[in-house]
Amino acid sequence: MKANNIMEMLRRTVDRFNEKEAFIWKNKNNYIQLTYGQFWDRIKHFANGLTHLGVTENDKVAIISNSNPMWGISDFAIASIGAVSVPVYPTIPTEQVTYMLNNADVSTAIVENKEQLQKLIESGGELERIILMHPRGDFIPSEQYFPFSMVEKLGEDNLRDDWEQSWMNIDREQLLTIIHTSGTTGNPKGVMLTHGNILANIEGVQFWLVELLPKDVTLSYLPLSHIFERLAGHYLPLSIGTTIGYAESIETIPQNLKEIRPTVFTSVPRLFEKVYQQIQAEIKNGSPLKKKIFNWAVSVGQEKYECYLNTNIDHYFSQSYLPEKLYRKWKRADKLVFQKVKQQLGGRIRGLVSGGGTLNPEIAKFFWALDIPILEGYGLTETSPIITTNPMIRGKVVQ
């Protein structure tokens, strides 16, 4: 039976994988984990804390932060009380923040740090309450300003008896979030998405396009303010029991890949272009023998990819679509080249997803040749977001 709302979706995952890691992230050079059970408890406490502060159904609550577990806690807590999240990019200037808050009629804001708090102060807006994820030592709580941890404690001490029943009554037509588009032809436009919009996208993706597994580990570095990452790198993994690992920053991705060792991750084309350029530069500066072996391996990978595209489904599922001679060559290429490239991506990659821009077909073919399937999708914020993507079976590169 399909879930009625994203809380029910997550609850099913928590029931199955209570002790499993939901999130891993680095803090002061050490990785910290949050299990699905702990995640659920913190959502419950924060949701009840918001209610205690006066946040009610249909209130608009902004989240202005880089991606981290508190973003997810805020997101589900807001949804659980029937309120509406309004994600705001932490990189945009004060005047754009002001416009979005006013446009969505935001009454409460959850911000990451003092830098984001300063934007709200400079905006001159009249917010009823502001919650700070990472307050500094000089932060003083007041009737308007609250540390995130204080709101969680308020909720833990003032649990509603009807909290679970209240989110169970939310249906697919309930407004979940307002996401602002880039505003290339004017001011940003607020796109209104329901619980059903998100759930329908998850159900369609998981059935038709790519199958995430509970044992998968994803790497998340794109902003959750963008619908692509929020669906593909947030809601979808959490609906399945996948572990989400957060990169420290875009600069630390090469190191974080080796530490988190993801099996799947999503990205905009720029990251894949940088990986491609790095590999090409390394080969260019290598010995003639290294170049020859690499180019031979890529040619074998391309031959395998063409065979994969043209095989019939029966042969594909039986894994018998490769001629024996090509299979033997591919095994040598895999040992000499492909595995070494994969080690640079953590050593466990089984698939990549590209979105948010056009991926160069030659780069896509290159990854497929290296035995790293890369799926390219297209979508819109208004479609929450996926419209189409190439599937795992016969995932033909878009020309």
Asked whether the beta carbons of 45 and 152 are under 8 A apart, the reply is: yes
Q: Is 399 helix (H, G, I), strand (E, B) or coil?
A: coil
User: Which residues of the chain, if any, have pLDDT below 70?
Assistant: 183-184, 207-210, 315-319, 392-394, 398-399
At residue 246's C-alpha, the angle toward residues 244 and 252, to 5°, is 140
Instruction: Specify the domain boundaries for CATH 3.40.50.980 within the chain.
Output: 6-246
Asked whether the beta carbons of 132 and 108 are under 8 A apart, the reply is: no
> What is the b/e burial string over 241-264, where b = at least 16 CB atoms within 10 angstroms of the residue's CB?
bbbbbbbbeeeebeebbebbbbbb
193 membership: H or E segment, kind and range: strand 190-194
Q: What is the pLDDT of residue 208?
A: 64
pTM of the model: 0.95
Q: What is the pLDDT of residue 74?
A: 98
Q: What is the pLDDT of residue 320?
A: 72
Which top CATH class is 6-246?
alpha beta
Q: What is the pLDDT of residue 275?
A: 94
> Helical H runs in the chain?
6-16, 36-53, 69-80, 94-103, 114-123, 148-157, 163-168, 195-208, 227-230, 236-240, 253-260, 269-284, 288-310, 313-317, 324-333, 339-344, 361-369
The string of pLDDT tens digits covering residues 7-25 is: 999 999 999 999 999 999 9
